[in-house]
Amino acid sequence: MNVPDELLYSSDHEWIQISGNRARMGITDFAQDALGDVVYVQVPDIGVTVANGQSFSEVESTKSVSDIYAPVSGVVVEVNAALGSDPAAVNNDPYGGGWICVIEMSDPSQTAQLIDAVSYRALTES
């Protein structure tokens, strides 16, 4: 399982990469593996306000439909529109081409609630 050291993770299996006041996010390698083949990703609308811990999107696979939870609060400022025609990017490259959106964080201190790669590996191995 791929767990990049430079990212932060939620216990709901989302990852974020911080750049200034923005957080690019997606679902983890662990999550995409558990879902199976992803066939649809509902990306949020640009401009929508998301709240830390609340569902704001969905990923549909051949096995199930799973909610995506906001790892931080803020406003969606960018979405990965390519997922509309290539939802399998979530499976093939969850930390690259499979990213879901970018959130302009309203409270960057919320990142302190997220876990690092070592802790995330421990979470998924238990």
- Report whether pLDDT(55) > 90: yes
The contacts of residue 56 (CB under 8 Å, 6+ apart) are 44, 48, 50, 68, 69, 70, 76
Report the side by side order of strands in the sheet with 14-19.
8-9, 14-19, 22-27, 101-105, 74-79, 49-50
Average pLDDT, the chain: 95
Contact present, 102 and 76 (Cβ < 8 Å): yes
Considering the chain, what percentage of its residues have pLDDT values greater than 70? 100
- Output the pTM of the full model: 0.93
Report the side by side order of strands in the sheet with 55-61.
38-42, 55-61, 65-69
Query: CA torsion sign, 43 to 45 to 46 to 48?
Result: negative
Cα(29)–Cα(78) distance, rounded to whole angstroms?
21
- The DSSP bridge partners found for residue 66 are 59
Fold (CATH) for 8-116: OB fold (Dihydrolipoamide Acetyltransferase, E2P) (2.40.50)
pLDDT class of 1 with cuts at 50, 70, 90: confident
- Tell me the pLDDT tens digit for each residue of 61-96: 998 999 999 999 999 999 999 999 999 999 999 999
